[in-house]
Structure 1
């Protein structure tokens, strides 16, 4: 890591950065690699601050395309089920594209989804890894620069950001801290010539039940086919609201969304057949339940749940996808002994360790939980 970036991280951790310095850092990170030169003003994207169970970075891009936006999307891989991580599990899908290939994909289907690294924003990818190593991932000023550098690199003009508010969040552990960081994000975006909206969501409980790369891909297939369950449908409604905040209050056509998603998969080297085959294989591998050992109300520690999935996913090259879960019980619901909490997918050799880690992420007690916080919107 370059000494200048190490110094910036230290200042951000110990005192914070002025708006102008955050904007300058975003520009420098974007300038470290190639850029897409998109003069049109119809580009848009919805990013997130990270955290498990929300599928906004996977579901929102084809929705935006369906309402007439172009979506050049640059992400940092490494999450249990970030958008680029999920698409990268599709056999043949290419996430590492150069400028020419990215422009060709965008011209074909108005949507390209690639990872930061060798071609685009390599300094941001390196800085992200360094932040993880030194415990500076959840520093809002650095997260803002990182997020906006990727929008600069691919020419996004209209930016939505899902701010996932929880103890494990990168924009603060509660809504007061998240509002402050969200206002700063919008201020910096304005300095950089972008229109920005932040949507604050309660990430203290699961947004939907499919947790893991393959599981998120299965959820994606169910949504595209109109076969989502009620819990996933509620999350889809939240994602639709996010799209409306930056793309205009129009109804998203499900067929157009599905068409946009499949066209992108095919343009980036995958195929509809392989996408569906792999999603169906994930569903078939979910045959083992994790059972409640006591009666009471269910709580999830999503930080522990995320870590359990990451540790069980494997360390193979590319987008490792050895493990995941499908939740059967919502946070706050009451269960009885022997009731199924979730189903597990993992190699047999890792099952006992994975199940123990999952149990440590689930608490069942006699106290009912309250309702989740409502969404909030921050415009500047």
Structure 2
């Protein structure tokens, strides 16, 4: 490890707007991981980074130091090209579920390390855990073997992968520094690069239900991550996609799994199919594989791949999914056109029903969530169903209902349709 520094000097350097040296970055990330730098000192540094920013060279070095804090998976035993996808998270964003087996069925191996939900955005692992028997934790040898044999894995990141990130992520959450683009970019990319993938496609969400509300900030984050991937030899492409309206018609855990299976069976909502195919094309392109994902979806091969992936992790793809004990239908109070379905409001309603968690140790309900009966642009009459609230605890319904009502706007005229795909950054 290069040199010893005083943590306060590193904090002051960044506070005063200076670029940190490679040696300072290497030392502070390593020392924080080992407990030599205290939480309050790293909190001060994170705030200084949020306020002062970092150069591209600093972010690349910070990311390298995060990767170096743990192990790097070796996927050389996998004969197919490897490509992963990461979404910055949204409401009803179940795309990983149909996308991973679809891309695997096209001949590419997809090592998908996923997370759990926090707040209004759902976690991929929570959704899959609603399948009876399915397990999120795999050892590194199990992970590599499943990738080699089936070509598709969705699981939790092991403890040994970028431990500096896990520690810093928890700290950012409670110190108001989550929004720092250098820290978001290095957090995402350190884990993705450490998992050993050869290429990466990013789905950077923009809109009320996304972490990034503005296109400008989302574009800056996407560009930063694409550059980081390139600097570490991982070919990276980013799509900016709309998250002002929930994706698909379901927001919850088991209900999103059911909708994903519909997509794999050749049906499902048009927006979910559109985004799944758009990301699949990008993944195949960066992996250098010439295949048509639409034809693969149609052939049923992606469904076979899904079933094999679920079975390999102990799940029963034929088992009935959990349902909710209580349902309540929200109906239109007036005639008109659905002019808005605010993703954030609908996400909060699903969270209140038990589909999400407020703290990372909270449990989630597999059957809870919101089922949309309309989309923006649909004409409705008074009394028509707009959405259905599902929960195991009736006491959760009134607050969720208030959020859902506030999220729906009915007007006289149809809104201008917004494109799902906003931009591509490579």
Mapped pair 1:194 → 2:239: no
Separation in 2, partners of 1:34, 1:319: 30
Secondary structure at the residue paired with 1:81? Answer: coil
Mapped pair 1:271 → 2:312: no
Mapped pair 1:84 → 2:130: no
Mapped pair 1:108 → 2:146: no
Of 211, 222, 228, the match for 2:251? 211
Q: Which residue of 1 aligns with 2:54?
A: 17
Separation in 1, partners of 2:252, 2:166: 22
Matches within 5 A, 1:25-174: 25-39=62-76, 42-79=81-118, 80-116=121-157, 118-170=159-211, 172-174=212-214
Answer with 1 or 2: which has the greater Rg: 2
- The answer to which of 298-307 and 62-71 deviates more is 298-307
The Cα of 1:5 is off from its aligned counterpart by: 4.5
Q: Which residue of 1 aligns with 2:282?
A: 245
Instruction: Quickly say closer, same or farther: Cα 1:140–1:294, change in 2 above 3 A.
Output: farther
Q: TM-score, normalised by structure 2?
A: 0.79
Please, which runs of 5 or more residues in structure 2 have no aligned partner? Answer: 1-31, 33-37
Q: Which residue of 2 aligns with 1:313?
A: 354
Q: TM-score, normalised by structure 1?
A: 0.88
Is residue 200–residue 235 contact of structure 2 (8 Å, CA) maintained in 1? yes
- Please give the per-residue CA displacement for 1:251-301, whole angstroms capped at 9, x wherever unaligned: 221222111111111111112223xx11xx43x868532111223333122
Separation in 2, partners of 1:224, 1:27: 37
- Please give the per-residue CA displacement for 1:44-101, whole angstroms capped at 9, x wherever unaligned: 0111111112322222111110111111111221254332221122222111222122
The Cα of 1:158 is off from its aligned counterpart by: 0.9
Please, which runs of 5 or more residues in structure 1 have no aligned partner? Answer: none
Separation in 1, partners of 2:303, 2:309: 10
RMSD (CA atoms)? 2.6
Q: Which residue of 2 aligns with 1:371?
A: 417
Alignment length (residue pairs): 371
Secondary structure at the residue paired with 1:86? Answer: helix
Secondary structure at the residue paired with 2:318? Answer: helix
The Cα of 1:164 is off from its aligned counterpart by: 1.0
Instruction: Quickly say closer, same or farther: Cα 1:329–1:18, change in 2 above 3 A.
Output: same
Mapped pair 1:345 → 2:390: yes
Instruction: Quickly say closer, same or farther: Cα 1:129–1:336, change in 2 above 3 A.
Output: farther
